[in-house]
Amino acid sequence: MRNLKMIVQYDGSRYKGWQKQKGVDLTIQSKLENVLSKMTGEEVQVVGCGRTDTGVHAENYVANFHTASTMKIDEIQDYLYEYLPEDIVVKSMKDTSERFHARYNVKSKTYVYRINNNKFRDVFSRRYVYHLNEELNLQYMKDAAKVLIGTHDFQSFTSLKSNTKSTVRTINYINISDNNGVIEIEVNGNGFLLNMVRIITGTLLEAGRGKYSAADIEKILMEKKRSEAGPIAPAKGLCLKVVNY
Given pLDDT bands bounded at 50, 70 and 90, which one contains residue 51?
very high
pLDDT of residue 37: 98
Each residue of 194-207: pLDDT tens digit?
999 999 999 999 99
pLDDT of residue 165: 85
What are the boundaries of each domain within the chain?
2-95, 108-244
pLDDT for 24: 83
Dihedral, CA atoms, 117, 123, 128, 134, nearest 10 degrees? Answer: 20
Please list, in sequence order, all residues whose beta carbon lies within 8 angstroms of the beta carbon of residue 236, skipping any fewer than 6 positions away. Answer: 13, 55, 56, 57, 127, 128, 129, 130
Active-site residue, 53 included: yes
In CATH, what number does 2-95 get?
3.30.70.580
| Per-residue model confidence (pLDDT) at position 45 | 97
CA dist 127 and 130 (Å) reads 8
* Residue-level pLDDT at 72: 97
pLDDT tens readout for residues 7-25:
999 999 999 999 998 888 8
Provide the pLDDT for residue 160. 87
- CA end-to-end distance (rounded Å), the chain: 22
Q: How far is CA 69 from CA 3, 30, 38, 43, 223, in A?
A: 10, 19, 12, 12, 52
- The closest alpha carbon to 212, from 156, 115, 144, 152, belongs to 144
Model pLDDT, residue 3: 98
pLDDT digits (tens, 9 = 90+) for 79-131: 999 999 999 999 999 999 999 999 999 999 999 999 999 999 999 999 999 99
pLDDT value at position 164? 72
- Whether 108-244 and 2-95 are alike in CATH topology: the answer is yes
Three-class DSSP labels, 87-119: CEEEEEEEECCCCCCCCCCCCEEEEEEEEECCC
Pick the CATH number of 108-244 from 3.30.470.20, 3.40.1360.10, 3.30.70.660, 3.40.50.280: 3.30.70.660
152-182 pLDDT, tens per residue?
999 999 998 877 789 999 999 999 999 999 9
Q: Across all residues in the chain, what is the average pLDDT?
A: 96
Q: Of 143, 13, 2, which is closest to residue 71 (Cα–Cα)?
A: 2
Choice among 11, 25, 53, 87 that is catalytic: 53
Strands 168-179 and 182-189, by their bridges, are antiparallel
Q: What's the pLDDT at 22?
A: 87
